[in-house]
Structure 1
């Protein structure tokens, strides 16, 4: 980039400070969201059109929703983590598209800039982002890697003048085709080709060499498209660097850990809304045994669903309280929030849909769209299976970390006995590699339920529902401990045996690949090109 271009860009960016959104209280933003949902939002049309309402970005920016934790002097709201939870729970209850849009911009986009950009870059860029004059996101996932960040193939090369050239491709990038600023993470090499570690760069998407690929046609979350991005000799100045060279993983990790807690808050909002609708339905629905609301089995199903919601609420509230107090929060708590928040949140939606019966299966009803949209949360920012195995493997290798997690709360005596059982199972690591993967998954799940049981047991005396939730969580941990005992699982078929079994399906279902839609039909007419 030439000096003249850089000066012009700096002038344009600094002008954004003159148009900052006014500070809003959390209560103001919650009221805005509820009013917006009631009077201006049509989720069905947004889903069908695969796009956000044109006026939404400016309205959300004016309400303060695009700079939630940006400092006030830079036009943001400087929210606490507890208030951030409240807002994303509200957004999650309204529409997953709005929630993910705000989450990507605020947690994956802005957070790395806040953490690692220079003060000069923050002063130029953050006011624009908070004012809704530009959007931002992060680009980490690639066609060949998802959670395995160290397998990244996108590269950056440092030049003698301090600039960098980025080459490679990213996949599944939320807002990737809409963001003006993208945090790109790449494997850095110096002028001689020596590796310097994964490094982050804040890149203006208008830079030559930045190319936007096709939009993915997803099952849900259709209004927040996922894009492919490619970087062809993308040249960026030294000021693009996010933090120190080789420190990109730390920057990305910090943003993603916070984002995982936000995902749980969003899922809880959707679960609350879904359960609310299911409970309303039971009040007016008569069945052969009388009122559905008085049916013992339905009451049990709804109560257990409410317990899942309250348990995760307690968990993410504890994490936010620790963060607001400046306390270090070990990664395991964020993984637990992501795993159980998203798994239990989607299960609550599924249960609510089941209670609604045929009405739940209608795609025009809120719960049906939640069912499609929030299914992605079990995959988003690390699939449940991948991060459960990672968490279990980490704590099996470092059992002292599990001990430290336990000491962060004051579990009851019965819960302490269950914790001892979890530690014993973790220490009993098998020799077979495949069995080690299964063991790690079991340990990771047990650790998650242990943390959930600990925080709910501490809150058991707050109310009757808290007491029920604590007992429910403890029962869930006990059940999983029984299933984790030796001999509770059968022997796996070998890979060859399983491959042969699935290959046999061809004899039953034949070849049913659809070939009716050749690629040419998706292209423009040759005479119009």
Structure 2
């Protein structure tokens, strides 16, 4: 049993650490920078690492084969305090800082990124409420997530609107003191078949572009919501992706998050929280590929010696090690900047871009180290290879991350 209450107490101590970091980051004083974990962070690392090794790793292959939603693991993760980690304690979460959340996400991703995605998608739905909802909405919807093992879904992308958020067609029409939502969501709506509630982005003013988008929190049992069939994806098959149709779904005015027309801004601010954590999951996969390949390379012998002693293999392992370490450093930088109270969009996109590439490259090189047997479903590398690709697609494609990064450059380096 993993003590959820104990983890929440750790979160309380970390809140004061984050406040100190915020003061330091905005001051002009200089001081040492450390990559060492403090006692609380080491405890969180050990907790989440042990959970991944004991609960996730043994179940991962079977979950991939059956594509079964990992409810049993999610319930244990909830009891251990490893869900809702960035939700403030006031609203029933662990109240951890971003660095601590990144440590948890990496370890969960090491175990299985399908499970990690189910947990992180929950966090993605919660993030717009954290950054923009009223106290009452936070208490009602975030509060219940801490009390009971529940999941939520982020319903933003559509069959014809992925990276092009301005292309959203789902509409919310004001009728008295309510809104009526009609439209279809797809792909990004992970957990939608099991969600207790949805964050929904809809058009409230078709003439205003992204300023005409509004965010809503919508109970999943509201009449008119119809989840479609589970989509069978290339990888991360135990996570749940399906089309969701909203037909004349009535939502009360008080379920508007922030103000009417602020939905796009909320969604983008949410990414500042979630992109570092998605990137951390990618680091977990990159690290898993490195460890599996290194162990195999020491056991497998050709031409009279272990293949790790052949330069061609050794150099691939070296590149994999660099990928994992460099990606982790960017993730921690983006998380630290957020904990310091600064806008981290620039670093969050860097972390997401680089960690996604590290995951794909490490999985590919891992298969190469295993050779022909790495292509077989009995070996872990085959699953890691399939699981890795989605990191370059969801929560903003790698091209979108480059766009975000490039648009920050003129301000950083003016002509």
TM bracket, shorter-chain basis:
0.7 to 0.9
Q: With a CA cutoff of 8 Å and minimum separation of 6, indicate the structure with the bigger relative contact order.
A: 2
The aligned runs of 1:248-267 (5 Å cut-off) are: 248-267=263-282
Change (3 A) 1:133 1:271: closer
Are 1:116 and 2:132 matched, yes or no?
A: yes
| Aligned counterpart in structure 2 of residue 400 of structure 1, from 407, 410, 414 | 410
SS of match in other structure, 1:380: coil
Deviation readout 1:250-283 (Å, 9 max, x if unpaired): 1111112322221211111111111111111121
Deviation readout 1:51-100 (Å, 9 max, x if unpaired): 13443232111111222012223321100111111101101100011110
Deviation of the 1:21 alpha carbon = 5.4
Are 1:141 and 2:119 matched, yes or no?
A: no
**2 CA distance for matches of 1:39 and 1:174?**
22
Change (3 A) 1:283 1:115: same
Which residue number in structure 2 is paired with residue 73 of structure 1? Answer: 90
Contact 1:23 1:77 in 2 (8 A): no
Which residue number in structure 2 is paired with residue 239 of structure 1? Answer: 254
Contact 1:21 1:76 in 2 (8 A): no
Runs of 4+ in 1 over 3 A off after TM superposition: 193-196, 389-392
Deviation readout 1:341-395 (Å, 9 max, x if unpaired): 1012210111011111123112122221111112111111222234435644x36
**2 CA distance for matches of 1:93 and 1:36?**
7
Deviation of the 1:209 alpha carbon = 1.3
Are 1:103 and 2:120 matched, yes or no?
A: yes
Contact 2:333 2:347 in 1 (8 A): no
Contact 2:170 2:202 in 1 (8 A): yes
Contact 1:66 1:131 in 2 (8 A): no
Which residue number in structure 2 is paired with residue 175 of structure 1? Answer: 191
SS of match in other structure, 2:203: strand
Deviation of the 1:291 alpha carbon = 2.9
Contact 2:132 2:257 in 1 (8 A): yes
Change (3 A) 1:382 1:73: closer
* Larger CA deviation: 178-187 vs 211-220: 211-220
Deviation of the 1:22 alpha carbon = 2.1
Change (3 A) 1:289 1:33: closer
**2 CA distance for matches of 1:55 and 1:110?**
21
Which residue number in structure 1 is paired with residue 74 of structure 2? Answer: 57
Listed as ranges, the gaps of 5+ residues in structure 1 are 1-19, 405-422, 424-529
Deviation of the 1:206 alpha carbon = 0.7
**1 CA distance for matches of 2:72 and 2:305?**
48
The aligned runs of 1:454-473 (5 Å cut-off) are: none
Rg comparison, structure with higher value: 1
Deviation of the 1:221 alpha carbon = 1.3
Are 1:128 and 2:138 matched, yes or no?
A: no
Query: TM-score under structure 2 normalisation?
Result: 0.85
Contact 2:84 2:94 in 1 (8 A): yes
Change (3 A) 1:125 1:30: farther
Which residue number in structure 1 is paired with residue 174 of structure 2? Answer: 158
Deviation readout 1:473-504 (Å, 9 max, x if unpaired): xxxxxxxxxxxxxxxxxxxxxxxxxxxxxxxx
SS of match in other structure, 1:66: coil
The aligned runs of 1:430-441 (5 Å cut-off) are: none
Which residue number in structure 1 is paired with residue 204 of structure 2? Answer: 188
**1 CA distance for matches of 2:70 and 2:241?**
17
Deviation of the 1:204 alpha carbon = 0.2
Deviation of the 1:162 alpha carbon = 2.4
Contact 2:45 2:107 in 1 (8 A): no
Listed as ranges, the gaps of 5+ residues in structure 2 are 11-40
CA RMSD of aligned residues (A): 2.3
| Aligned counterpart in structure 2 of residue 285 of structure 1, from 286, 300, 309 | 300
Which residue number in structure 1 is paired with residue 319 of structure 2? Answer: 304
